[in-house]
Amino acid sequence: MNILMLLSQLEVTGAEVYSVSKAEKLINRGHNVFIISDTLTKKTRANYLSLPLSNRNITNRIKNTLAVYRFIKKNNIHIVNAHSRASAWVSNLACKFANVPLIVFIHGRQSTFLSRRLVHGFGDYTIAVCEKLSEQLLDVFKVDPGKVEVMRNGFDIPEIGKAIYRSHKTVAFITRLSGPKKELAYKLLEHVSNSDFLSEFKNVKFKIIGGQSIPPEFDKFKNIFEFTGYTDNLPREIENADVIIGSGRVAIDAVLHKKPLVAMGEACTIGLVTKKNLRFALETNFGDMNVTEKDFDFNKITDDLKKALDLTECEDEVYLRVVNDCDIEKIVDRLEYLFQSVSVRFYRNEIPIIYYHRIAKNISDAGKHGIFVTEQQFENHLRFLKKAGYKSISFDEALNVKKSGTSGKFVMITFDDGYEDNYTLAFPLLKKYGCKALIFLVAGLESNTWDEQADEPVLKMMSENQIKEMAEYGIEFGSHTLTHADLTKLTHKEAKRELTESKKILEAKTGKEITSFAYPYGNCNETVKKTAGEAGYKFVFATDNGPMGLHEDLLQIRRIGIFPNTTVRGLARKIRGGYAFKREKKESQNLQIPR
C-alpha cells in the first residue's frame, strides 16, 4: 500500500517517534510510506515533505489542504493516517476531495470548543492511545463506538540484561520543556529542590532529559539538576538510569527496560507504577490523559521516588503486561488489518469470490435444485470476465493484492462438491479463457448420495485421474468433507473426522497440501470453525455469511453464489462491488470492523 502519515509539530514528540517506528515496520513489510510534517527529527526511510501544518490560520490551512490533496493524487495514496489535531483537520478535507480513507490517531486530550464538536475531523476510523481518550471521544464527541479502538504506543521489545544495584543512583526525568509539559516540569523541579529529597539522597544524580532548548526560567535549576537537552538515543539514557520519571511513550519505554517508573503526565499523577495501579496507568497513558480536571500530587512523586530508589527493576506483572500491549510487531499486524478493513468499508467494495456447483450441458439434465449454470451460461460468464478486464486469482494472491493495494480488477472462482461436469465441461472453458479456479471436493463419495432423498439424478464425482490432470494444469483443490455433512449437526468427534480424513484423502490424490475447506450448505458455528482450524486448514469458506473483508476471518470467508438465474448482467452486478453491503441490514455486525 501507499500510506501517507501527517503530523503537526515544531519539535520531536512521542507522536513522531511512534509514526517513524511504525513507518519503518511498514516499509519492512513492503509498503511505501510518506510523511508530511512541519519538522522531522527521527531518521526514516519514508519519503518526507515539509509543510507548515502547525500554522493554523485559515489561509495556511487552505494552502496545506490543497498541497496534501495534490500529494495524495500524485503519489496514488491508498490510505492516510493523521497524528495530530491540525493534521487531522487538513487531512479530513484533503481526503474527502481525493476520495481516500482516513484513520486518525489520537495521542492527547481533544479540545471541546463548539467548532470541534461540530466538525470532528476524526476520519473514517479513530485510534486512541489509551482508554481515557477513547472515553472522551465516545462521551463528549459521540463518535460511533464501532469506529474507535484503543491501540497503545508500539515498541520493539529490547533485550533486558541482569539488574544491577548501584550505590550512586541516577533519576532521569524525561520530558519536553514546551507546552503543558513545560509548566509541569517547572513545578516538579521547584518542589523537589525545596523538599528534603535532595538532602536525604545526596548520592542521587537528578537528570532532566529532553527539550530542544532550555527555557530561561529553568536557569535557576541548573546548579541543582543536570540538563542534557534532546537525545537521539533515549534507550541508552533509560538503560543508564536507575529510576525514570515520565509519561506516555517514555513511561512505556522505561517499563520495557524493566526500570522502576514514577509516572506523572499532563493530566494526573500515577506515582510508582505497580501491578495495583497498572490498569489506571495504562488507561491514562501513564498520566497524560484523564477525563477529570488535572490532578497533580508532587508530594507523592517525591515519596514514591524514595521507594523506587530501593528497587532494581519494575514488577514482572507490570513488565509482561506492557510487553503484551506494546509489541510493535503485533500493533503493525493490526494496522495492516485495519488499513484493509477501513478501505473495504470506505469504498464498499471487496475482491469478489464467486462459487458455482454444477455445470449442466442443458437445463433438461440440471435436476430440481437450482445449483447449476448451463455450459453456455458459464462460457458467457467467463467471456464477460475476460472482456471486462477481470483477472482470476487464488486466495493467496487475493490477500497479497489487498495488502499491497495493487490496482486492477480481480475475481476468485470456486466450485463446491466436485461434480464430474467440473472436469468435462468447466475445465475446457477455464483453460480456454485462462482462468484459475478452486474446487472443493467431497472426498469420500463417488456420487451425490446426499441428494438421493431429494429425488435428484445420480451424478458422478470427479475421478482421481481427472483431479490429478486438473491439479497439474494449476487448478487448486480443497475439501468439502467426506460425505457432504452439515458439520453443525455432528458431534465434535464426527466433525473432526470429516475434516481430517477428507484432507488426508485429497492430499494423497493431488500430491499437494490441502489448505482450503468449504462448509457444506455454508453452515458453521464457532465450534466448527475452531475444529476446522485445528484440522490444519488455513482458509475456510462459507457462502453469503461472514465479515465484509475477506481477510477478516480466515475461518469464515464470504462468497457470492452464482445460480441459474445469474445472467451476465447479474454477474456484473454481483462482482462490481457493493453487492454484499446491500444485502446486509444496517444493524448487521458484519458491517463493523471485527476486534
Confidence at residue 505, expressed as pLDDT on a 0 to 100 scale: 97
- Report which of residues 244 and 405 the model is more confident about: 244
Provide the residue type at 285 as one letter. Answer: N
Mean of pLDDT values over 1-23? 92
CA distance 490 to 112: 56
Average confidence (pLDDT) over 413-435: 98
pLDDT-based confidence at residue 366 (cuts at 50, 70, 90): confident
Alpha carbons 299 and 289: distance in angstroms, whole number: 20
What number of other Cβ atoms are within 10 A of residue 58's Cβ?
A: 7
**Exposed, middle or buried: residue 168 (CB in 10 Å: 0-12, 13-18, 19+)?**
exposed
In the beta sheet, which residues pair with residue 36? 6, 49
Give residue 162's identity as a one-letter amino acid code: K
Q: How far apart are alpha carbons 193 and 210 in whole angstroms?
A: 19
pLDDT of residue 162: 66
- Angle formed at CA 391 by CA 533 and CA 362, multiple of 5 degrees: 85
Which pLDDT does position 165 carry in this prediction? 63
| Cβ atoms of 542 and 522 closer than 8 Å | yes
For the record, the C-alpha cell of 465 comes out as 485421474
Average pLDDT over residues 327-356: 96
Please, which residues have CB within 8 angstroms of residue 142's CB and are 6 or more apart in sequence?
none
Say if residue 356 is exposed, middle or buried (CB neighbours under 10 Å; 0-12, 13-18, 19+): buried
What per-residue confidence (pLDDT) applies to 539? 98
Task: Give yes or no for residue 179 having a pLDDT over 90.
Answer: no
The confidence score (pLDDT) of residue 202 equals: 87
Per-residue model confidence (pLDDT) at position 232: 84
Give the integer Cα–Cα distance in Å for 139 and 160.
40
pLDDT for 100-142, tens place per residue?
A: 999 999 998 887 665 555 566 899 999 999 999 999 999 988 9
> How far is 560 from 247, CA to CA, in rounded Å?
50
Mean per-residue pLDDT for 281-303? 89
* Of 6-20, 50-64, 110-124, 179-193, the least confident: 110-124
pLDDT at 80: 98
Q: Residue 583 pLDDT > 60, yes or no?
A: yes
Look up residue 483 and give its three cell numbers: 460425505
Residues 489, 319: Cα–Cα separation, whole Å: 45
Instruction: Decide if 241 contacts 172 (C-beta within 8 A).
Output: yes
Q: How far apart are CA 322 and CA 445, in angstroms?
A: 53
Say which residues have a Cβ less than 8 Å from residue 568's Cβ, sequence separation at least 6: 380, 381, 384
pLDDT in tens, 133-159: 999 999 988 999 999 999 999 999 988
- Rounded Cα distance between 324 and 232, Å, is 26
Give the pLDDT confidence score for residue 357 in this predicted structure: 96
Report the half-sphere exposure of 352 (CA within 13 A, side-chain side): 24
Report the candidate in 127, 6, 116, 115 with the shortest Cα–Cα distance to residue 65. Answer: 6
- Candidates 499, 542, 550, 497; CA nearest to 521 is 542
Q: Tell me the one-letter amino acid at 582.
A: K
Nearest to 332 by CA among 548, 99, 127: 127
Predicted pLDDT of residue 159: 81
The Cα diameter of the chain in Å comes to 100
pLDDT band at 12 (very low <50, low <70, confident <90, very high): confident
Total residue count of the chain as it appears in this document: 595
pLDDT at 369: 74
The beta strand positions in 100-215, using DSSP E, are: 102-106, 125-128, 148-150, 170-174, 205-209
440 and 478 Cβ atoms separated by less than 8 Å? yes
pLDDT at 584 over 90: no
Q: 150 vs 92, 343, 346, CA distance in Å?
A: 20, 19, 20
Asked whether the beta carbons of 159 and 180 are under 8 A apart, the reply is no
pLDDT digits (tens, 9 = 90+) for 202-233: 889 999 999 878 999 999 999 999 999 988 89
The mean per-residue pLDDT over the stretch 35-46 comes to 95
Q: How far apart are CA 582 and CA 335, in angstroms?
A: 27
Please name each of the domains of the chain with its CATH number.
2-150 (3.40.50.2000), 170-325 (3.40.50.2000), 348-591 (3.20.20.370)
Describe the chain by its helix, strand, coil percentages, rounded to 5: 45, 20, 40
Output DSSP code: residue 425.
I
Grid cell in block for residue 525: 458455528
Chain mean pLDDT for the chain: 93
The confidence score (pLDDT) of residue 213 equals 87
Of 76 and 451, the one with more pLDDT: 76
Sign of torsion, CA 241 242 247 248?
Answer: positive
Residue 14 contacts residue 181 (beta carbons within 8 Å)? no
Where does the pLDDT of residue 293 fall: very low under 50, low under 70, confident under 90, or very high at 90 and above?
Answer: low
Q: Provide the angle, in degrees to the nearest 10, between the axes of the packed helices 179-194 and 298-308.
A: 70
